A and B are shown apart, each in its own frame.
Chain A
Amino acid sequence: MTTELKIPEFSANFAESGQQGKWGMAIDMDICTGCQACVAACAMENNVPFVGEADSGYGRSMHWIRTERFWEGEFPEIKMTPYQPMLCQQCGHAPCEPVCPAFATVHSQSEALNLQVYNRCVGTRYCANNCPYQVRSFNWRDFERPEPLPNQFNPDVTVRRRGVMEKCTFCIQRIHRAEDQAKSEGREIADGEFTTACAQACPADAIVFGRIDDPESAVSKLARGSRGFHMLEELGTLPSVTYLKAG
């Protein structure tokens, strides 16, 4: 028998502090093959620049989602561990938000997401330092987009300039389009009606996106399962992304 201890919680009560998200994601690490289709799809959907080999090798790669790869043991006796796609966890209590001096990193009221306001960003990079998941990308330069790459810009997404921080938005442009469509037809958005670029591109369907405030949605059901866990849960960031344990 366990007793539930009620310890009063202290929190510095920022606006809507500690709110659980509205949109969420479940990533099944058991079926992720590490194919990086999500990374490519995300870059195309969100106009993420290609930084080139030199900058990428120096830790300036710009990906809103990345596939982390680990192994155990020393070469050649190594054992691969499951792939771990890493993206902005859209924390309900995000460490990046309070530290921005210019309010460029804010929590949106309607979508319950962490937004990055590119126009407002002055580039102190404090948010990226304070992000425990290290998922923020900084525009170190104005990266070149040789022809014909400019032809595939997504017109719904801003192109960022140098000196600005950016990160995953859960494809907010798709959320808005689906919401507008549903509103014009006078209905609620159906579960699975649309999805993010990474989830759409995943050939193994390892990424599932949807409403986590709806207990009947596919993502909620997956997240409630026994395999579900949150990344760095002990920090109390209330991530909207649930990982499903592999193996």
Chain B
Amino acid sequence: MTSTEKHHDHAQDHVAHLREQHLMLDPLPRGQMNDMVMESMHTTSWKFWVVFGILSVIVAVFLFGAWGYMIANGLGVAGVNRPSYWGIFLVNTVFWIGISHAGTFISAILRVFKAEFRRPFTRAAELMTTFGLVQAGFSIFMHMGRVWLSYWLMPIPNQRGLWPNFHSPLSWDLLAITTYLLSSTMYLFLPLIPDLAMARDRTPDGTWQKTFYRVLALGFRGTEGEWTHLRNAMNIFAFAIIPVMFSVHTIVSWDFAAATRPGWNSTIFGPYFVVGALHSGMGAVAMVLAVVQSRMKHMKYFIRGEHFEALGMLMLLVSMAWAYFFFNDYMVQWYGGDKWTQQLLHFHEGGPLGWMWFAMLVFNVVIPWATLWNKKWRSNPWLLFGVGLLINVGMWFERYIIIPISLTINRMPFTWRMYTPGVEVFLGIGTVAFFILLYMGASRLIPLIPVWEVQEGQMAHSLKTYGRETVVTVSELE
């Protein structure tokens, strides 16, 4: 073998390696890829239906059953008391809104910055936004004393001329979450249209799925004009939804920051909550992707180590940002020297639930920093799943510390009392089950992989050989 041949072999290996590593350099024929995605939707084992059934029962009993019981008997069946008027309900609300954040973050910000690794998993992340917001809505409505009158919080014209109080952070909250839910649903829907059209063309006539796809695809045929309109709309939404996303969690934080409570009255809460939301949301995206990749057919082709690697890097970055904001918040509150805040900070670390405070720091900072620095480790889906799970537990602890534990300490020591959760634990489990259930249902109905986006990316990428070097080139398509 001559040295030229040897070099040729080496170059071949290099190209093969690149193709194996990067989805964008490993194109398949369009028809085959479409069929793979259709097949991934239609290949359902009996295990899926067992899990689906169990989750349905949990949702029916824990979520709707327990909620009905609570509506019939009053909030006394939950654990909320004086002074912890808000308990796990609000913890879960903030938690689910946090989960819903990363969906948009990953999809919109990475789309705006044209990060190529986003392509196969934007949809999985966007779905998380919509389904997470549904759970946040459930959690916040559950905590109301008279939920049957919740429409009074909407600005509905009425004969008494009564409007909601726009001074109240809760009113801002409701408007912000509604705006976010509507805009993120539209943002989920727009890139879905070409895929729905693809599914419509590959579904046999006379089935209800055909009707479903036909109605939702809005007659999309893939003409040049349709693509131009779609691209313009998506571009507008990707830019417009980013400030909406930042505003939502800032406004959620104002529910606390605008109050007079020690521990809540902190000016840094806005960005601190946004970063916390991204932290838990990134972890959740990693968990969803690990499950999707291992459980759905053909997904090993679409979701690869490179995607987990990139996600792991983002998680590490967000973890560092969270640590900074946590330190900042703690430092400023401690330095403020207010005697009630001092009591509260001491109670956080040294109180009966002090272990939660330390667990929060270990799960949110120590474990991500200790594992995600390593490229090989963070390319491993199940390691990322584990880290994501721990981050989510840690972030849930963070919200638990901010809400019921901080409410325990107030300016009237006579009313200090611990909070013991009641039926809200089941309601919380119910929302988790409902989230997974919605996701599983969606995975059977809509393509979890934005096929057209992957194909577009693969068309834009090519391997070119200059002299002896093989390099990746990306052309601008839009």
Contacts and interface: CB of A to CB of B under 8 A. Distances in A.
Interface stretch (A38-46, A134-142, A184-192, A199-207): A134-142
Contacts of A121: 145-146
A101 B170 contact: yes
A67 to B, nearest CB: 9
A163 B259 contact: no
Contacts of A142: 74
Contact of B145 (A70, A95, A138): A138
A191 B416 CA distance: 38
Contacts of B57: none
B167 A122 contact: no
Contacts of B147: 122-123
A78 to B, nearest CB: 15
Interface string B249-272: 000000100111100000000000
A86 B412 contact: yes
Contacts of B4: none
A55 B75 CA distance: 12
A132 B145 contact: no
A122 B162 CA distance: 14
Given A59-B82, A140-B75, A122 B152 contact: yes
A103 B168 CA distance: 9
Contacts of B165: 98, 100-103
B293 to A, nearest CB: 41
B415 A134 contact: yes
Contacts of A99: 167-170, 258-259
Contact of B75 (A61, A98, A123): A123
Interface in B392-408: 407
B412 A132 contact: yes
A140 B70 CA distance: 10
A59 B410 CA distance: 14
Contact of B260 (A86, A95, A122, A138): A95
Given A14-B167, A120-B152, A138-B85, A125 B145 contact: yes
Nearest to A137: B82
A55 B168 contact: no
A141 B413 CA distance: 25
A129 B163 CA distance: 22
Contact of B146 (A70, A86, A95, A163): A163
Nearest to A130: B259
Interface string A46-87: 000000000100111100001011100000000000001010
27 contacts: A59-B82, A99-B258, A99-B259, A100-B165, A100-B168, A101-B168, A101-B174, A103-B164, A122-B153, A123-B75, A123-B144, A123-B147, A125-B143, A126-B168, A126-B169, A126-B170, A129-B83, A129-B259, A130-B260, A134-B415, A137-B82, A138-B145, A141-B73, A141-B76, A163-B145, A164-B146, A235-B260
User: What 10 A-B pairs are tightest by C-beta distance, nearest first?
Assistant: A123-B145, A163-B145, A162-B74, A59-B81, A140-B76, A141-B76, A141-B74, A125-B85, A101-B170, A163-B146
Interface of A: 12, 14, 55, 58-61, 66, 68-70, 84, 86, 95, 98-103, 120-126, 128-130, 132-134, 137-142, 162-165, 232, 235
